[in-house]
């Protein structure tokens, strides 16, 4: 179960624009930095802090703390936190009672805020229908096919073996 949330953390970590994340710092240093900003009400720092708790990076794993911080961030319309809460309700993680209805509520909020993962989860992303036109090639006679095929194979083999042919001049 926690592997799912580690995957969510990894996928979403690229999308987080939290000011508290420093690529050169250790997870512990980033946790401390994010906690300070999160306590000041920064939604992205709250999401990042929740993800640290949820993944156990930089701090001991604590899914219940993750829920608390995801909720604070989600209430500020952070789509990533809303999606993460949906996943936690769907799987009953972090001390939450498993509830597909509650999960769908959070997925819907995330989708309303443009979260791709939520849109996909709810089946709101529909592949584009592309209409292809059938191209009808003129039928070659059997005589043409017999002439063309050896040349094609021969040219291919020449290309593979880098053979240069010298044409005879009459």
Residue owning tokens 């994340």: 21
Question: With 50 as the cut, is the pLDDT of residue 14 above it?
Answer: no
What's the mean pLDDT in 101-117? Answer: 95
Domain 2-121 carries which CATH code? 1.25.40.10
pLDDT of residue 19: 87
Q: Which residue has the higher pLDDT, 137 or 71?
A: 71
What pTM, to 2 d.p., does this model score?
0.65
Calculate what percentage of the chain has a pLDDT beyond 90: 56
Q: pLDDT band at residue 15, thresholds of 50, 70 and 90? A: very low
The dihedral through the CA atoms of 12, 35, 54, 121 has a sign that is negative
Question: With 90 as the cut, is the pLDDT of residue 125 above it?
Answer: no
Return mean pLDDT, the chain. 82
Q: Give the span between the Cα atoms of 141 and 10, in whole angstroms.
A: 58
pLDDT tens digits along 47-56 = 999 999 999 9
Q: Give the span between the Cα atoms of 106 and 84, in whole angstroms.
A: 8
């Amino acid at each position: 179960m926690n592997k799912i949330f580690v995957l969510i953390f990894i996928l979403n970590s690229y999308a987080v624009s939290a000011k508290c994340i420093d690529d050169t710092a250790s997870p512990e240093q980033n946790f401390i930095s994010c906690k300070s900003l999160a306590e000041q009400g920064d939604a992205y720092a709250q999401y990042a802090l929740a993800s640290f708790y949820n993944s156990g990076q930089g701090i001991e794993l604590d899914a219940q703390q993750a829920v608390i911080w995801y909720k604070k961030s989600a209430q500020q319309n952070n789509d990533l936190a809303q999606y993460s809460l949906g996943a936690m309700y769907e799987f009953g993680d972090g001390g939450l009672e498993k509830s597909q209805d509650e999960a769908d509520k959070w997925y819907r909020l995330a989708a309303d805020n443009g979260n791709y993962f939520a849109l996909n989860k709810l089946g709101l992303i529909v592949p584009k229908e592309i209409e292809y036109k059938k191209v009808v090639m003129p039928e070659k006679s059997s005589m043409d096919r017999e002439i063309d095929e050896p040349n094609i194979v021969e040219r291919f083999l020449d290309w593979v073996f880098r053979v240069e042919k010298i044409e005879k001049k009459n």
